[in-house]
Amino acid sequence: MAVTLTINGESKTVNAEDDTPLLWVLRDELNLTGTKYGCGIAQCGACTVHVNNLPRRSCVTPIKSIEGMQITTIEGLDGPVAEAVQAAWQKIDVPQCGFCQTGQVMSAVGLLNSIRKPDDADIDNGMTGNICRCATYVRIRNAIHDAAGILEKQK
Amino acid sequence: MKKENLQVLSLVILTLCTFACSKDNNTANNTVSSDTSAQATAILQGPDAFADISDNKQRAKSLFLEMAKVIQHPRCVNCHAAGNRPLQGDQQQPHQPPVFRNNSGMGHPGMLCITCHSATNVQISSTHSIPGHTPWIMPPENQAWENVPISNICEQLKDPERNGNKSIEAVVHHFTEDGLVGWAWNPGAGRSPPPGNQAILGALAQAWMDAGAHCP
């Protein structure tokens, strides 16, 4: 069955069942492998993408349910917030093994899109669904504060 | 490894983690679980079953106690939870991953309810699913039903300061027509529905209001 999705600004038609999880399509059909498979049940956050600019777990999102919406993956993430997060991640050297970092970055950008200067509680509550098996949480939190600082200087 | 096998493996690991993390809550949860089992086998009687109670006040009380079979079911209480975090499943465990009501009732920025919950249930296996409905939302904390006696829930429902400034007619409408209430009878794999159906609940609520909306 053909489903047309708008991914990173481009229209993509895929032949898949309506209830196919978006993650399967991204990785297996479109070769957008930056988005990771972690648990498959919305418990770890590794598969996070943006749907209409809001974080969404692609492993439990049926493709038919997001037809016509704007889907952004790590490959298509851009703009001032994304650039600030990328710079902060590099400066603080956040990743260890790196497997969860796609999801962490997507959630961090989603958080900063909504709260431009989050406090520790905002970060903890907004990032609570992204698990890191290397426990880089302290660096993640510091990097989000750093990214917020970068954005504040740009005002 | 096939994706289906990975999903099953994930479920097993997460189930083990959940049991390990919830050890301290086992006593309280067992109590809730027993009540849930009793409710699951209960039959929801329609208003006709109470028609022979001539006294309006007594009939209204009895009707509301019948509604309580639904109101105090996990499908309702899990979102009408005390505190800032919803409950999950028939065992009424704290929601995993940890999520919080926030002022909107729709989660915290970065971790909104719709980060995981779609417009419909998403089945993961024959025994697990991610529940879904639009909107997927927690009521305010002053509408909590968890561990609240049914008489207090009834009074809360009639109090505009604690029911979202609703008239009693609007409260009845919530029971009768609200799609999120109706979802309770289509909860997806791994969750039990409350007894009866939304039509019976709505008829009970209407009859309760017509009899004066007295509380037990």
Note the pLDDT tens digit of each residue in A135-153. Answer: 999 999 999 999 999 999 9
Strands A2-7 and A48-51: unpaired
* pLDDT > 90 fraction of chain B, expressed in percent and rounded: 79
pLDDT averaged over every residue in chain B: 86
State ipTM.
0.95
| Stretch among B28-37, B38-47, B74-83, B191-200 having the lowest mean pLDDT | B28-37
pLDDT of residue B42: 75
Q: Residue A57: which of B11, B99, B116 has the nearest Cβ?
A: B116
Whole-angstrom distance, CA of residue B68 vs CA of residue A10: 51
A30 compared with B14, residue with greater pLDDT = A30
Interface of B with A in 118-157 (CB under 8 A): 118-120, 122-124, 128, 130
Q: Residue A40: which of B6, B102, B109 has the nearest Cβ?
A: B6
| Stretch among B19-28, B127-136, B187-196 having the lowest mean pLDDT | B19-28
pTM of the model: 0.86
- A91 has a pLDDT exceeding 60: yes
- B3 has a pLDDT exceeding 70: no
pLDDT of residue A1: 82
How do residues B50-108 score in pLDDT, each as one tens digit? Answer: 999 999 999 999 999 999 999 999 999 999 999 999 999 999 999 999 999 988 899 99
- B7 has a pLDDT exceeding 70: no
- A96 has a pLDDT exceeding 90: yes
Tell me if residue B107 falls in helix, strand or coil: strand
Strands A2-7 and A10-15: antiparallel
Torsion of CA B113, B118, B123, B128, to 10 degrees: 10
3-state secondary structure A45-74: CCCEEEECCEEEEHHHCEHHHHCCCEEECH
Burial (0-12, 13-18, 19+ Cβ within 10 Å), B73:
buried
Instruction: Identify the residue whose tokens are 């009687």.
Output: B45
Q: What is the CA radius of gyration of chain B?
A: 18
Provide, as residue numbers in chain B, all residues whose Cβ is less than 8 Å from the Cβ of A48: 115
Contact between chains at A65 and B100 (C-beta distance less than 8 A): no
Q: Residue A40: which of B3, B110, B116 has the nearest Cβ?
A: B3
Residue A107 touches partner B, C-beta closer than 8 Å: yes
pLDDT averaged over every residue in chain A: 97
Tell me if residue A2 falls in helix, strand or coil: strand
Burial (0-12, 13-18, 19+ Cβ within 10 Å), A7:
buried
A45 phi and psi, to 5 degrees? Answer: 90, -5
Cβ within 8 Å of residue B199, ≥6 positions away = none
- B25 has a pLDDT exceeding 80: no
pLDDT of residue B131: 97
Residue B98 touches partner A, C-beta closer than 8 Å: yes
Whole-angstrom distance, CA of residue B131 vs CA of residue B162: 27
Provide, as residue numbers in chain B, all residues whose Cβ is less than 8 Å from the Cβ of A54: 112, 114-115
pLDDT of residue B22: 37
> DSSP letter at A12?
E
Domains of chain A: 2-76 (3.10.20.30), 80-153 (1.10.150.120)
Q: Residue A129: which of B6, B109, B115 has the nearest Cβ?
A: B115
Provide, as residue numbers in chain A, all residues whose Cβ is less than 8 Å from the Cβ of B108: 122, 125-126, 128
Whole-angstrom distance, CA of residue A151 vs CA of residue A118: 12
Residue B93 touches partner A, C-beta closer than 8 Å: no
- Count of A–B CB contacts within 8 Å? 93
Helix (H) or strand (E) holding B67: helix B56-71
